[in-house]
Amino acid sequence: MSALGRQIQEYLGHIRVERNLAKNTQDAYRRDLQRYEDFLSEHGVTDISGVSPDLVAQYQAALMSTDSGLARTSANRMLAAVRGLHSFALKERWTVTDSCALLVSSKPAVRLPKALSVAETLKVVEVLSAAESPIDMRDYAVVEFLYSTGARISEVVGLTLDDLDLQGGSVRLFGKGSKYRVVPIGGAAVAALERYLVRARPSFVKQTTNVVFLNRKGESLGRQSAFNAVSRCAELAHLKQSVSPHTLRHCFATHLLEGGADVRVVQELLGHASVTTTQIYTLVTQQRLREVYSMAHPRSRR
């Protein structure tokens, strides 16, 4: 392994042990820095002290190029990993040059979440409400829970029985930044969970486990399986557009705001660190108001 490879491994150890970043973040940094190491190796760099600001600029240009096939947000995340590595290298005195001093992340365009209407969402959520098979009862509980709580898919697949308080109608979610938050669960989702836990989950259990949602092998339901459950419900509901677990999170936030919820309350429910992240949903509701006005108001067209 080259000196550069060892330096990257030491930095990855730093974000794991000292910064205690989430595992998904660690995995993303590992992939991003492997790509950066490959780029530097192609340019003959084997030690971080040999990286010049011009070379970092070339890497940024390569990431931002349309040929890279990367979304702007993905490219910016990769650059953040590079910036973190070089900042660490300075502190460790592996180099005396801040090669990222002139690095400026490109601001991504605002992309509005594609939320379904309330009627469309309920079609997706309720399509399996009367189903009797264990798989269907599980998938119904998953989609009800997603829409009722606005949870991230990682929070759903990691859910344990200890996190649920069905009698009190709430759940403890373990989100980004290793932070917990308590979120209310609606009555329909509570009923769906109780039905799944009593009538379906026991058929999945192969050994003692505290995980709520299980697959046929008795293991924790994977992210892809949860994604497939939501997609299947959308197909059964005859929706033409694709629907993902994150779509239901968008619907949760948008419908709350349309119903008059305060943006800071929605921020807490979603587990956003900054209200700025939540405020993008207010753009969704404003856009929908304009669309409704344009379609329904007799004086909207001149």
DSSP H or E run through 23? helix 23-42
DSSP symbols for 233-259: HHHHTT-SS---HHHHHHHHHHHHHHT
159: region left, alpha or beta (phi > 0 left; psi from -120 to 50 alpha): beta
**Does 246 qualify as catalytic in the annotation?**
yes
Q: Residue 286 has which token pair?
A: 């404003």
Contact 249, 270 (CB under 8 A): yes
CA angle 168, 174, 179 (to 5 degrees): 110
Q: Cα 44 from chain centroid?
A: 36
Active site residue 14: no
Q: Which residues contact 242 (CB under 8 A, 6 or more apart)?
A: 231, 234
Closest CA to 206 of 223, 220, 188, 187: 220
Instruction: Assess whether 176 carries a catalytic annotation.
Output: yes
Active-site hit among 86, 232, 249, 255: 249
Contact between 84 and 11 under an 8 Å Cβ cutoff? The reply is yes
Q: Which residues are catalytic?
A: 152, 176, 246, 249, 272, 281
